[in-house]
Chains A and B, each alone.
Chain A
């Protein structure tokens, strides 16, 4: 008996308090709490408290439109049996009516949420929904996808094919029996276009109107859709071999002389690449009220961030966070880093620098300032000098950061002493 009591560490008083909070003043503390069989009864009571807690919470919780998989029974079964049960209960194929119902529920829920937040239900956008949900259900989870969410069912449920045949049993698509109807239809269409263009070319040749320098479709700045993107477009799975054959056929289409006639069709399968300009974006020189030119630059190095304003017609004065650079950077190496861009461009005594720097250490701040000064000086300098600066490495941000310490190692790379025995 004594040993059992010692095991129980949940004090009776706190239990009473919590129970009174939950029940509103009627603690249902059983008399068994004072008896010998303490452990079991406490657990029973604690269990009931837990359930009451959840009950109370559930009444206030807003019904989320989330696909909650039906819970599995807690029975000892083998892994294969459990998987089979899960597959049987999970709704892998969502019927159209089910999705329609979900959409209706979502819309109603959206209006409720808007009312709850005191906003206009008519102009309640998805961003407002996200904001409201994060406010109502604050979650400390790191994984963003695990947090509560409320999105339109079309974004949650994967796009699925409806039933492929009508009431009479006849399939809708003429290539249904191939198994990959969308893909083969696409191949059929592309080949049809190839034949048509070949026939057109032949007609032009017979008439004598053929000219070898016809307009070509511009493929610069775009790429073919990737296999995954094509699968998404066709709502059908395809193999790598199929995808390769598709690309070959499209290349064949493009190789024909009159392929420009099918430009619109071809562009449907090409994606524009983001325009990556290799040219440095040089900010324009700004002028303050006195007419003195100035420009600003930002730089980062190893947890230090710096902003610099480089003024023209200066005498080489440098202020960092209001402090003179000789006092701020005691070490010569840091001051050298600061002056290097000016020295490289032979503008040592011509500019005034007003710098602000936070974070990092001595060397990091110096490096950040150097980058910021180089970027600011771009506005004053010609194209060839910009190229020279780039070659010198003044414009490249240094990506090196401190490597993390790993478990089992003393530091990032240092290993513990190895003892043979």
Chain B
């Protein structure tokens, strides 16, 4: 065992208590917060402790995790359940940053971390995985430069059109603003510069619903578009 800083007697006692007594899991983090507040512990002393909450107990770990823990449990995970009943574990911070719906759910307290899963019945596993992929990448790489992010986005959207529409509906349901804008931009480029027959084909419109007079009128008025 490393040498504990002697000036922090209270902290030492607390640390011993934590390590040797069974403590109710939900009290661990607040307890740590309280310690920090009372003692104004500096970074290097934290590194001496290297304590991290794992599964309810406090365990020695790397200093970065302590600091991260102090900033608000980013490694807390939530469970998302696809329409095919497959469960995905995702970092809470990642989903909260991107999805307005999930953010609201967590904020109003209706989600219990230990037990709840968020059911997403209208999103299938394949699409959900892709959405999680997008959110995770954008959270972890948010400080990358613009070109790299755009290149990754372009690669990400390199899917067939059915996959694209599935993504659109999922992003719409979860209210992920930047993914939505990205997909709408892609669809806009799909329409740009195309003739009307091609647009009908792209969107699988078999019956345009115009009478033959209306169709002829349109063709006469806007020959460019056909």
Indicate whether A and B interact: no
Interface residues of B (CB under 8 A from A): none
